[in-house]
Amino acid sequence: MLDFIRLLIQRYRTVYGHARLSPTAEPSLKQQLHSLTLTEAFLEKGLLQQRHPQIPIQIAVIGPTQAGKSSVVNLLLQKNLAVVSPLAGFTVHPQGFSRNSEEQAPQWLQDYFRHYQRFERSALPAGRHDCYAYASAGSDPGCPLPPCVIWDTPDFDSIDAEGYRESVLRCAALADVILLLVSKDKYADQSVWDMMSLLEPLGQPTVICLNKILEENRLIILRSLQQKWKSARGDAPVALTALPYRDPADVPTDASQQALAQLFEDLNKAIAAVERNRHPQQAYELLKRHWAAWMAPITAEHDTLSEWRTLVDQAVKQALTMYRRDYLDHPHHYETFKRALAELLTLLEIPGLATALVRTRQAITWPVRQLVKLAKRERRGEGAEQYGQEMVTLKQIQEHLFIQLADHILVKSEEEFEQARWWKEIGRQLRTEKPVIGSEFLRAVQLYERHFQPEIEASAHQLYDKLKKQPATLNSLRATRITTDAAAVALALKTGGIGLHDFILTPAVLSLTSMLTESALGNHMNKIAARLKRRQYEIVEQDLFIEVLQKQLLRLPQRLDDSEQFNIPLETLKTAEDKLEQSRYGLRLL
């Protein structure tokens, strides 16, 4: 699960950093990054507790700017170790102070902050946020707190807070106890209660300290704080302590000493309520709270990819329907079986005379064939390719398929607001790749026509073999003048003297076709024609529309900018969801 959360963070950061986001998508992605960062740190805390079960209690002092966090940390330490400044946002690095412990750099600390560099407090670089400080506050038998580490953290509400928010969330996740520090000016800020809502699933005992408060405002603000807690959280209200405002140069009053003593008491109660063994359940609650929101853009991406695959599948199916309608089943366009008939007519030549007839016809018809070729070339233009009816139909179908997809993409980009950019990008990719896919499709058609020729010849041989089993019919056909004339026309077709359309309409060929149909061979000829057509459809479907058009179109999303896509496989999502479901029944997440 931890690996999956890290993968989500990496992909969210990439998309957030590179994608041109809509005004509504940007805040949502940022919010998910915050919850993911907290979850990663909290899961790592679980590992930390397994490897180092004896680490001291961790107290994180968190709050908005100018709340006086560093000042209160010094009060808790009873030493001036945290640097106090009147400047807002002065503290930008986590700083840990070990109370009643002499540890300087424990191993657990290095494990948890492995991506951070440790500095002395005085040497923390202002321009870097991947740093922290840790120091011992010494051992004091009179300290009201048990051995613990108190963390002074940066704010989470300033303009620059986004740069160091990760360290705030990491300290908050590490904490056994949260001390929320707010002032009378910031206690109602939404950023404060967004943070407290985010931390709720962690189940940490929490104490709220209202700092720098005047006595006349104390009760009113404390009641307001209780209402704010109820609005932001579902658990019971927590202990509230108010520290009165005083000038640092003033001598502490009895009221301030009593308030500080109350704060120590509240913290000790919170420490006593810590249950580290509940970490697995808390981790599950945290994951469950945010899972749907994390998955939403990823699921939307997969849904969009599924829509694209559906569009392509539908377009290909419609293209195949058009191919059957406009070519295979078209009474005037379908020409493949006529080619088989031409092969049959050559086979019907009288044995022994076939070779001589071929040579004679080639010699006699050569000048005519050259003139016919020249005339056709002049009509089409020099160098123009000669396409059969099937290729013409296939090219038209391919163009229709591209137009159909482009229209669907345009509609999707206008209707699906959140995924509009994806549809626009896939439309641009389609326009870019269209010439390449079209050229590949044309080459595949030409290759198919060459490779399908043996199927045509095999059909002709099947007819001829059937005729040989009916000698009377075969001899009758050979004895007619029509057969000889038709065979001559078939030879002219094969040697380029006439086109297939002219061949079909030749009187001799029409007469011969009629004779075959009306003979005992007619039923068998229809079966062979149907088998040839079925085989032709299967090859066109697989080799042209599926292997070329469909595969190339389905690869288009892979060529989109990877930095703007989550690209997390469904199998990975399913594995993570199974792991989450297992954790519901007490199994470890890690």
The pLDDT tens digits of the residues spanning 534-558 come to 999 999 999 999 999 999 999 999 9
pLDDT score at 335: 84
* Sequence-separated (6 or more) residues with CB below 8 Å from residue 230: 237
Token pair of 12, please?
Answer: 């969210």
CA 311 to chain centre: 18
Report the DSSP beta bridge partners of residue 98: 136, 149
Which of 143-152, 230-239, 328-337 is least confident?
A: 328-337
In the Cβ-directed half-sphere of 111, how many Cα atoms lie within 13 Å?
14
Q: What is the pLDDT of residues 26-81, one digit of tens each?
A: 788 889 999 999 999 999 999 999 999 889 999 999 999 988 899 999 999 988 88
Which of these, 275, 197, 270, lies nearest to 230 by C-alpha position?
Answer: 197
Tokens 């810590």 identify what position?
274
Q: For 203, phi and psi rounded to 5 degrees?
A: 65, 30
* Assigned token pair, 104: 């300087």
Residue that wins the pLDDT comparison between 587 and 304:
304
C-alpha–C-alpha distance, residues 438 and 549, integer Å? 8
406 CB-contact burial (10 Å; exposed 0-12 / middle 13-18 / buried 19+)? middle
- Side-chain-side CA neighbours of residue 285 (13 Å): 14
Q: Which residues in 175-309 belong to E strands, given as ranges?
A: 177-183, 206-213, 239-244
Taking only the tens place, the pLDDT of each residue in 456-511 is 889 888 888 888 887 777 777 666 645 555 555 555 555 554 555 555 545 555 56
Write the single-letter amino acid at 182: V
User: What pLDDT, on a 0 to 100 scale, did the predictor assign at position 245?
Assistant: 74
Residue 380 is predicted with a pLDDT of: 45
- Contact between 266 and 241 under an 8 Å Cβ cutoff? The reply is yes
Q: In the sheet that 95-99 helps form, which strands lie side by side, from edge to edge?
A: 117-119, 131-136, 95-99, 148-152, 57-62, 177-183, 206-213, 239-244
Residues in Cβ contact with 29 at an 8 Å cutoff, skipping those fewer than 6 apart = 12, 15, 16, 21, 297
- For the chain, the domains span 1-41+293-329+562-590, 52-274, 330-559
What span, in angstroms and rounded, lies between the C-alpha atoms of 488 and 511? 14
262-286 b/e with 16+ CB inside 10 Å = b? Answer: bbeebbeebbeebeeeebeebbbeb
CATH superfamily of 52-274: P-loop containing nucleotide triphosphate hydrolases (3.40.50.300)
Contacts of 130 (CB under 8 A, 6+ apart): 115, 116, 117
Residue 364 pLDDT exceeds 50: no
Q: Are 319 and 549 in contact (CB under 8 A)?
A: yes
Instruction: Spell out the residues 6+ positions from residue 487 whose beta carbon is closer than 8 angstroms to its own.
Output: 345, 346, 348, 349, 357
List phi, psi (to 5°) of 148: -160, 170
- In this prediction, residue 353 carries a pLDDT of 38
Average pLDDT score, the chain: 83
Separation in Å, CA 223 to CA 39, 194, 240: 31, 19, 10
Is residue 220 a contact partner of residue 247, using CB atoms and an 8 Å limit? no
pLDDT reading at 250 higher than 90:
no
Residue 578 Cα distances to 45, 413, 574, 584, 590, angstroms: 22, 34, 6, 10, 13
